[in-house]
């Protein structure tokens, strides 16, 4: 509980500026946790409208409504897409030295945005950089939004497929279930498997990480075994690493038969910090039946399918390849609830004795900061910008070995 004599920390939530974005960075359900921790919340009027949260739902939870300038005058600004994902955003002029900005940045895809924010003197936290550890799961926006995307991808595929998903036995005959193939069994892939199974499809899934087999099978899907040496660590709960060109080519050859037999394919494979691996070629797609559907969840990172175009549907011999963009934004009520809870948990880590402490000894905070003190402070982002890397912090000195001639703790306490 914050000290009542300590000034309240003000968090501003602006209306999202990125085209097509319907989510809001904090939903009303996240506000009680923040106000209890010492935050006051100011929401730009209309910020939650597209997500189904009118201004009254925020004021009912203790927030106040203000202008965009009011929001950016806060101590912390939280956004779904920082600066509308645009390095030329007009909001850059509203940033100032010491302002804390928190949200999704895509720092490796848009390093110039990080540089632009750094140039204002603001402190920027990229929530995509939250470490994928058990402790940090409650702040992991990638996982929470991927779960929404996996669910929605299956519904989109079912809507586009000219077949039914479930086995159906009628007096007019029996309809065979649709065959769904999920490529990548991370959070999005597992969400897609569960949803496709609930709709009655026969589901197969593949992942380069051997540890994913048990999770796939636990959801009732068949794990596709490819005799392929991938060098992926067993039990690596985070991202898979980039395969070599030779391994990807071999993967494509082994997967072609499964692809051809599928009615629906949902691809989710991504590698942090680089473009998505291209797993399914145009030639493989031509082997599928007319009317089949592919939903490429990695479209914004270049796509897992050769013909994928982000935001468009491409027809390959009667097969629809849909390069989806911002699927969580199609379910903004719950996507915003999850995102807002991630943000609230993250902000609470910064508060020590009712005040913001940017130097708090916390690995989640340390690993998420990408701009501070007028500079880009993450070396991977600096590399993308062609900047000289900063010296890595020295590891803490090991504790001195006990001296045999010194007093024992028991003796010293006497």
Say whether 140 is catalytic: yes
Q: How far apart are CA 153 and CA 238, in angstroms?
A: 21
What secondary structure does DSSP assign to 122-163, as a single string? -EEEEGGGS--STTTGGG-HHHHHHHHHHHHHHHHHHHHSSS
Q: How far apart are CA 109 and CA 113, in angstroms?
A: 9
Distances (CA, A) of 170 to 11, 144, 167, 174: 58, 39, 10, 6
Q: Which residues lie across from 43 on neighbouring strands? A: 13, 65
In sequence order, the 6+-apart residues with CB closer than 8 A to the CB of 382 are: 376, 388, 389, 390
- Active site residue: 68, 239, 252, 366, which one? 239
- Active site residue: 132, 197, 198, 222, which one? 132
Say whether 132 is catalytic: yes
- Active site residue: 137, 236, 272, 278, which one? 137
Q: Are strands 76-81 and 9-13 parallel, antiparallel or unpaired?
A: parallel
Say whether 137 is catalytic: yes
- Active site residue: 140, 207, 263, 296, which one? 140
Q: How far apart are CA 268 and CA 207, in angstroms?
A: 10
Q: How far apart are CA 55 and CA 40, in angstroms?
A: 16
Say whether 61 is catalytic: no
Q: How many secondary structure helices (H) and strands (E) does the chain include?
A: 13, 19
Count of residues in the chain:
414
- Active site residue: 27, 143, 144, 368, which one? 143
Cβ neighbour number for residue 200 with a 10 Å cutoff: 14
Q: How far apart are CA 11 and CA 17, in angstroms?
A: 18
In the numeric block, which tokens belong to residue 102? 């928190």
CB 190 within 8 A of CB 221: no
Say whether 143 is catalytic: yes
Closest by Cα among 229, 272, 266, 271 to 251: 229
Q: How far apart are CA 58 and CA 52, in angstroms?
A: 11
In sequence order, the 6+-apart residues with CB closer than 8 A to the CB of 328 are: 23, 145, 148, 149, 152, 335, 339
Q: How far apart are CA 160 and CA 44, in angstroms?
A: 37
Q: How far apart are CA 9 and CA 355, in angstroms?
A: 7
SS3 call for 280: strand
Catalytic residues: 132, 137, 140, 143, 239
């Amino acid at each position: 509980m914050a000290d009542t004599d300590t000034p309240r920390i003000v968090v501003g939530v602006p209306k999202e500026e990125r085209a097509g974005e319907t989510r809001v960075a904090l939903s009303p359900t996240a506000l009680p946790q923040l106000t209890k921790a010492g935050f006051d919340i100011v929401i730009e009027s209309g910020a939650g409208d597209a997500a189904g949260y009118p201004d009254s739902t925020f004021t009912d939870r203790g927030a106040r409504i203000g202008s965009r300038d009011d929001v950016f005058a806060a101590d912390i600004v939280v956004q779904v897409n920082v600066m509308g994902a645009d390095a030329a955003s007009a909001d850059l002029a509203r940033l100032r030295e010491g302002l804390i900005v928190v949200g999704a940045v895509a720092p490796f895809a848009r390093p110039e945005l990080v540089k632009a924010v750094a140039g204002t003197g603001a402190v920027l936290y990229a929530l995509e950089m939250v470490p994928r550890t058990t402790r940090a799961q409650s702040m992991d926006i990638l996982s929470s939004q991927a779960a929404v995307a996996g669910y929605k991808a299956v519904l989109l595929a079912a809507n586009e497929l000219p077949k039914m998903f479930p086995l159906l036995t009628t007096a007019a005959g029996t309809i065979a279930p649709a065959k769904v193939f999920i490529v990548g069994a991370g959070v999005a892939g597992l969400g897609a498997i569960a949803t496709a199974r609930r709709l009655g499809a026969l589901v197969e899934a593949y992942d380069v990480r051997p540890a994913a087999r048990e999770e796939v099978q636990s959801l009732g899907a068949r794990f596709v075994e490819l005799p392929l040496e991938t060098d992926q660590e067993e039990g690596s709960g985070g991202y898979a690493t980039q395969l070599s060109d030779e391994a990807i080519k071999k993967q494509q050859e082994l997967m072609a038969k499964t692809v051809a037999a599928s009615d629906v394919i949902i691809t989710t494979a991504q590698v942090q910090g680089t473009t998505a691996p291209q797993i399914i070629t145009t030639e493989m797609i031509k082997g599928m039946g007319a009317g089949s559907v592919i939903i490429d969840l990695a479209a914004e990172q270049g796509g897992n399918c050769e013909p994928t175009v982000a935001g468009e549907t491409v027809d390959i011999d009667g097969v629809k390849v849909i390069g989806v963009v911002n699927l969580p934004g199609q379910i903004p009520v719950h996507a915003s609830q999850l995102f807002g809870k991630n943000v609230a948990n993250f902000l609470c880590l910064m508060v020590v004795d009712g005040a913001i402490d940017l130097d708090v000894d916390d690995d989640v905070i340390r690993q998420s900061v990408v701009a501070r003190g007028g500079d880009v402070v993450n070396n991977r982002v600096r590399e993308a910008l062609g900047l000289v890397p900063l010296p890595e912090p020295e590891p803490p000195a090991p504790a001195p070995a006990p001296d045999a001639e010194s007093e024992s703790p028991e003796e010293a306490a006497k």
